[in-house]
Amino acid sequence: MTENWEQVLTLAFYMVATGEPAMYCEDWLLTSESLPCGNMSSQNISELLSTITNQQRLSFYSKWGELRSESEYVALDVTSISSYSELIGDVEWGYNRDKEKLPQVNVCMLFGEKSQLPIFQTTYSGSINDVSTLKSTLQLASGLKLDHMSIVMDKGFSRKDNIDGMLDDENGIRFLIPTPLTMNFTKKSILGVKSTMDTVDNTILTGNDVVRGLTKKMAWNDKHDVFTHIIFNAELAYRLKNKLYGDVIKLKQEALKNPTNPELVIAFNKYLSIKKSKKEASGYTVNILHEVIEEELRYKGSLVLISNHINNVQEALDYYRAKDVVEKGFMKLKNCLDLGRLRVHSDHRMQNKLFVGFIALIIMAHIHNVMSSHDMYRKTSLKKMFKTLERLRVQYIYDDRILFPLSKEHKFIFNAFALSIPL
């Protein structure tokens, strides 16, 4: 990729600066200074996306992973990107996370939780679920030379065979993952501490929330124990309880009016006992199934996280909450970098457009980190900052390049990004 790196980086710059489709890059370059990249017409960009090889992409990910080899937790998640193309092999119908009625490709990405920088990405067929991607992604990521990598995952990956595989892995995968409330292990963990959980000694602070939490070492299977972090949010549990109570009362009121309402029959059968009765004017008696409600509320407000190396509930919860860096990364990838749709028509170009998007995401993540660290969002937004920079003008007289005077806003931006202010 060394022979066309200027074009790749220019396209990434364009995606960050505008978020517009690549077909307009040539127009953008007419009024913007950039690297010496030659003609960036729509046709040339299409040809560029055909030239980057799979080996070149993997080489970049490997070198980038080695550069990012500081010890930090790594968040992992999957998103769907839709496409109209029928020529991309990985674009298939599947569970679409954006609820769009389009075929899709799944993008799996690793993000550093402290650095907030993307580390690695790979794609899978749109019909493959989150669980199926985990093993393959971890195998691919194992070559990135990330020291002490620990994967933080969401409940989409919480399946017993997944967790068994990580515990058995000979490379010693370190992980933090929530277990679903429907899992027997989760129920056993919660019920085992429920009567002793609500004490001041078990109180932990996380963000603006005050919750209860404790850690127990528990047997996961015959071979492995895991650190089990049980967290209970009393305020959340109370809100959920109130909502359920209110919903059930509304159901009862509807049932008294029309006990055979076809739109509500499923909910009626779940929460109510409706029987014919000659004594009632409506011809029916309606009673609430209290035991059903109590069972549904039994685990509300609870969260169980398991790990094979984190032994402190505060640390576990903080790292789990920090994983939203991946969701924010995906949001930027799809909404700010024109990757909500894949406007390409081959597997190879699709992979390379996502690769250029990955480089653009690195740039955008760094810009975001700088803006956050200098409290710049109080005065400006990312889009407004780019608009401010667009007002910079240069004039060429013979061979002399003359930069117009910088405003206070320009100087503020240059200083924040540790850039030399041009004379």
pLDDT in tens, 97-127: 454 544 567 777 787 777 778 888 877 654 4
Q: Residue 90's pLDDT band (boundaries 50, 70, 90)?
A: very low
- Decide: 82 and 342 in contact? Cβ < 8 Å: yes
What percent of the chain has pLDDT above 70?
Answer: 80
How confident is the model over 323-342, as a mean pLDDT?
61
9-60 pLDDT, tens digit each: 999 999 888 888 888 899 999 888 888 888 899 889 888 888 888 888 888 8
DSSP label of 334: I
Q: Residue 252's pLDDT band (boundaries 50, 70, 90)?
A: very high
Kindly state the tokens that stand for 415: 């200083």
Q: Which range, 61-65, 147-151, 389-393, is most confident?
A: 389-393
> No. of H helices and E strands in the chain?
15, 13
Kindly report which listed range (55-64, 72-81, 380-389, 408-417) carries the lowest average pLDDT score: 72-81
DSSP label of 395: E
Kindly state the tokens that stand for 267: 């909910």
Distances (CA, A) of 296 to 60, 290, 293, 303, 341: 49, 10, 5, 15, 39
Mean pLDDT over all residues of the chain? 81
CA nearest 110: which of 81, 137, 82, 139? 137
Beta carbons within 8 Å of 356's beta carbon, 6+ residues apart: 8, 11, 12, 15, 49
State the pLDDT at residue 294. Answer: 94
State the pLDDT at residue 335. Answer: 65
How confident is the model over 74-78, as a mean pLDDT?
75
- Decide: 174 and 148 in contact? Cβ < 8 Å: yes
The more confidently predicted of residues 415 and 279 is 415
> CA end-to-end span of the chain, whole Å?
34
- Decide: 127 and 92 in contact? Cβ < 8 Å: yes
- Decide: 336 and 222 in contact? Cβ < 8 Å: no
Single pTM value for the model: 0.69
How confident is the model over 308-320, as a mean pLDDT?
90
Cα 75–Cα 79–Cα 80 angle in degrees, nearest 5? 170
Residue 344 has pLDDT above 80, yes or no: no
- Decide: 163 and 223 in contact? Cβ < 8 Å: no
State the pLDDT at residue 91. Answer: 36
Q: Residue 186's pLDDT band (boundaries 50, 70, 90)?
A: very high
Q: Residue 293's pLDDT band (boundaries 50, 70, 90)?
A: very high
Q: Residue 201's pLDDT band (boundaries 50, 70, 90)?
A: very high
State the pLDDT at residue 82. Answer: 53
State the pLDDT at residue 86. Answer: 40
State the pLDDT at residue 423. Answer: 60
Torsion sign over Cα 57, 59, 63, 69 = positive
Kindly state the tokens that stand for 221: 């299977």
State the pLDDT at residue 154. Answer: 80
Q: Residue 322 half-sphere exposure, CB side, CA atoms within 13 Å?
A: 20
The more confidently predicted of residues 170 and 130 is 170
Q: Residue 314's pLDDT band (boundaries 50, 70, 90)?
A: very high
The more confidently predicted of residues 246 and 382 is 246
State the pLDDT at residue 249. Answer: 96
State the pLDDT at residue 223. Answer: 92
Beta carbons within 8 Å of 121's beta carbon, 6+ residues apart: 61, 107, 108, 109, 110, 354, 358
The more confidently predicted of residues 172 and 232 is 232
Beta carbons within 8 Å of 405's beta carbon, 6+ residues apart: none
Going by their DSSP bridges, the two strands 209-219 and 225-232 should be labelled as: antiparallel
State the pLDDT at residue 332. Answer: 65
Residue 341 has pLDDT above 60, yes or no: no
**H helix intervals, 31-143:** 42-51, 54-67, 130-141
State the pLDDT at residue 214. Answer: 95
Domain boundaries along the sequence of the chain: 2-154+324-373, 174-232+303-312, 237-297, 376-416
What percent of the chain has pLDDT above 90?
Answer: 30
Residue 180 has pLDDT above 70, yes or no: yes
